Amino acid sequence: MTPFGRRFADALDARGSVCVGIDPHPALLAEWGLPVDADGLARFADICVRAFADTAAVIKPQSAFFEVFGSAGIAVLERTVAACRAAGALVLLDVKRGDIGTTMAAYARAYLDPAAPLAADAMTLSPFLGVGSLDPAFELCAAHGAGVFVLARTSNKEAAQFQLARDADGRSAAQVVIDEVAARNGGAVPLGSLGLVVGATIGVADVDLAALNGPILAPGVGAQGGTADDVRRIFGDSLRAVLPSVSREVLRQGPDVGALRGAVKRLADDFAFLRG
C-alpha cells in the first residue's frame, strides 16, 4: 500500500493545501437550521460530504461531536468517513487518543486498520504518556499505509505549561516530541507518514521542525486568527509539508453547498504558496 506520506503530498498537489474540519457542534447545527439530534447531525454531515469530499485534500471530522449522539452518531461518522474517502479526500479522524500497551493498540486498530468500521487515512494522537507509548499506532501506519498527527506545539493558552517545560538537556517537551517523531520518519520520500500538530497561532517559532520530514497540521487559521503570514513566519522551510486546518471559517458559510465549496476554493488559493 502507498504510504500516507506519499498520498498526503499527492493530495495537496492535486487539491491544494487545505484541511477542512467537520465540527458539528450544537450552535452550528442550530445556525444551519438543523435540529440538535442525530437526524440533524446526519443532515449536516451529508451537506459537508457533498461540499468537501471531491474538493478538499484532507477532511478532519471531530469525533467528539459525533460521539455525543451515541451509537446513532457513530453510525453517521462511519458513513461520513467512508463517503469522503470514496470521493478521493484523505480523512484525518480527530480523536486525540493516547494510551499504553494493548489499549493503544486497540485505539490504533479502531481507526487505522482498513478492516475497521471507522478506518480513516490518519488519526490524531496525544503523546502525554511518552512518544514511545504510541508505537502500536506507528506500527500500524507502516503496515497499512496510514498516518498519524501527534500533538506537539499547540496554541491553546494552557499548553505552554507542559509543552515548553524543559528536560535535563534543555529541550522543551514539544521539541522532544518533534525529535522522536522525526527519528521515525528518517529517509522517507517525499515525506514520512508520521506528522505533527503545530498551531498556526503559537505566536513565535519556538520549536525546530527542520528534521521532521513529515506532515504538519496547522490548526487555527481563519476564525481563530491565524493568517497566511503567520504560516510563513512560523513554518519557514517546512512550508511544503504544512496543512492549514480550517473549520469555522468554512462552516459558517453553510448550509449552502455552493458557498461551502467556494470557501474551500478561496482558502486553497490563499495558501497556494505552500505548494511552491
Q: Decide if 84 contacts 54 (C-beta within 8 A).
A: no
pLDDT tens for residues 13-72?
999 999 999 999 999 999 999 999 999 999 999 999 999 999 999 999 999 999 999 999
Residue 205's pLDDT is: 79
Residue 74's pLDDT is: 98
Q: Which grid coordinates are listed for 73?
A: 452518531
Catalytic residue among 60, 96, 157, 265: 96
Percent of the chain with pLDDT over 90: 90
Active site residue 265: no
pLDDT tens for residues 60-117?
999 999 999 999 999 999 999 999 999 999 999 999 999 999 999 999 999 999 999 9
Residue 147's pLDDT band (cuts 50, 70, 90):
very high
How is the chain split into domains, by residue range? Answer: 4-16+57-83+92-228
Q: pLDDT at residue 130 above 90?
A: yes
Q: Spell out a b/e string for 196-227, using b for 16 or more CB atoms within 10 Å of the CB, else e.
A: bbbbbbbeeeebebeebbbbbbbbbbbebebe
May I ask the CATH architecture of the domain 4-16+57-83+92-228?
Answer: Alpha-Beta Barrel (3.20)
- Average pLDDT over all residues of the chain: 96
Strand partners, 62: 94
Rounded Cα gap, residues 33 and 82, in angstroms: 25
Residue 221's pLDDT is: 84
Taking Cα atoms as reference points, which of 237, 236, 202 lies closest to residue 218? 202
Residue 223's pLDDT is: 66
Largest Cα span, the chain: 54
2-16, 193-207, 215-229, range with greatest mean pLDDT? 2-16
Residue 167, judged by CB atoms within 10 A of its CB (0-12, 13-18, 19+), counts as exposed
DSSP string for residues in the chain: ---HHHHHHHHHHHH-S-EEEE---HHHHHHTT--SSHHHHHHHHHHHHHHHTTT-SEEEEBHHHHHTTHHHHHHHHHHHHHHHHHTT-EEEEEEEE---HHHHHHHHHHHH-TTSTT--SEEEE--TT-GGGGHHHHHHHHHHT-EEEEEEE--STTTHHHHT-B-TTS-BHHHHHHHHHHHHHTT-SS--SEEEEE-TTSSS--S--TT--S-EEEE-BSTTSB-HHHHHHHHGGGGGGEEEEESHHHHTTTT-HHHHHHHHHHHHHHTGGGG-
Q: pLDDT at residue 213 above 90?
A: yes
Rounded Cα gap, residues 257 and 181, in angstroms: 38
Residue 165's pLDDT is: 96
